[in-house]
A and B are shown apart, each in its own frame.
Chain A
Amino acid sequence: MSTPRDPLWSPDQPGDADLARLEQLLGRYRHVPSEAPMPKVSTALPRRHWRRPLAFAAGGVAAAALAVAIWLPWRLRWTADAPWPVTVDVPALAPALAVGDTLQTGAGQHARVAIARIGALEVSPQTRLSLIETRSGHHRIALETGHVHARVWAPPGAFGVLDGGAEVIDLGCVFDLWKRADGSGRLAVGSGWVMHSEGGRETLVPAGHALDFGPDHAGLPLRPAAPAAFAEAVTALDHALREGHRDHDAETRSAELATSDDAFTLLSLLTRYPTLADGPLYPRLADAIGATPPDARHRAAWASGSIHAINAWWDRMPRPPKQWWRNWRDVVL
């Protein structure tokens, strides 16, 4: 298989000047054994007299795994249109919420609604909601007004809240949703991720962020603890861009006032309006996510709307776990 001359295969053979230069440049990154001591090894490897306790432990784990394997599908299964149990602090409401039914809490009245078997809704006073659909893997309510606190442990998309033309889709998490009579409201995510979808525009909202929305538009995910001036600048910039013009003052202020904790807001802003990449927000985001030194080609690609360029930086952010069951804390905490 060997060829007479192949310096790439055999470093002992002299290569061309470019290969030699690449070797010289990259050799600096070589693993240096003396600077990296061997990781400590806990040598408690299995020995014969450990085998029996290990076998018992393995049996226990297998039994637990079997129980989970039975329980989990049962938990996710739900007969189509079966009503959801409702618990209320005053017995004025029906004990179940069927498809098509509306639940209305009065002043000072709370309710707890089971979301099939995948989670629960805490319903605050003065809230009005309806059950639209329920079946295995797909549960939807409509929130007309008021506030709900949702806690869900299920695959992404299993639970959602319809809001006029918009939809709030759970991706495995804990979130709060407020809705006013005029159609405006707020989505605040406590754990995991939620997708706000409106008119084909999807906005991911991660834990620790909130999104304000109106009857026909969604804002950008912002940290509630973000500086007020930064939030105002981002909101003003978003508003101006929706109106069709670029507010350079708001853009500059957004870049200047952003902290490294606001990286997700900047990323969402630049994703929604890629042309902003030619302004001050791009280098600010690059700095916040450690993507330095800025790459002019990547920046130009982003500004022209390249999905590949945008995804390259999304890949640097923590993403919703593919294994939704890893969010088990949402069930118990």
Chain B
Amino acid sequence: MIAVELVKLFRRPRTWVTIALLNALPVLVAVLLALTDLGPRPGEGPAFLSAVLTNGNLYPLAALAIVLPLFLPIAVAVVAGDSVAGEAQGGTLRYLLARPAGRTRLLVAKLVAAFVFVLVAVVVVAAVGYVTGSVLFGVAPTGTTTFSGTTLSSQQIVVRTLLAIGYVTFSMLGVAAFALFFSTLTDSPLGATLGALAVLITSSLLFTLDAASSIAPYLPTRYWLSYVDLFRDPILWRDIVRGVGLQAVYLVVLLGASWANFTTKDVTS
């Protein structure tokens, strides 16, 4: 059933259109930077963007920083929000459940498909970023400078970039879990997507308020950008570990709620 869901997901043109659109902005930014040679100062603009003019190796990270706050969560919420609600809206959910596979297996298949989409989307953004960065900015022969003023070799950059890709992917699984949960509550994919985005916008807004500082450690978006801590020396693991832990909690709770709801609800469409 998982294979069926994966084939269905990646045969849909809109899946690839979504991934293509996701890459449009980082590519546009790279072209503009290359044409004008006007990068932001270090510490300004999306993380790592200031450094890419001298080292295209870092563009995968800059590309992730560009799409992470808005476009990537939207893409993930659209796909995951469609998982169950899309079938219900299309009138196919009843037929899917008529098979002996059972609701839990269907939910797991939908879940895996959404997670694979997250991984593919993040890896494609990073890969397109790498190609774009290498072609437009070249690769620095002397390595790159960390936030702390030390120099990383090319090998160290590769390892830390892979860790960053893994972290961003895991962070996005939380978004997928929210959207999937809402998808089991409603027959409207748009409603499920907007529900997940509403949670993320609320979280991002609260994070900027001092008055909400007591609940900040529990906000789902709190640690999203902590992957930049991989580029300090020594690596600052504190927020990265907390980010992984927090997303794991959201995953367990939301997937549990999705299971509790989906396996007991009345399916009429």
Q: Do A and B bind each other?
A: no
Residue numbers of B with Cβ under 8 A of A are none
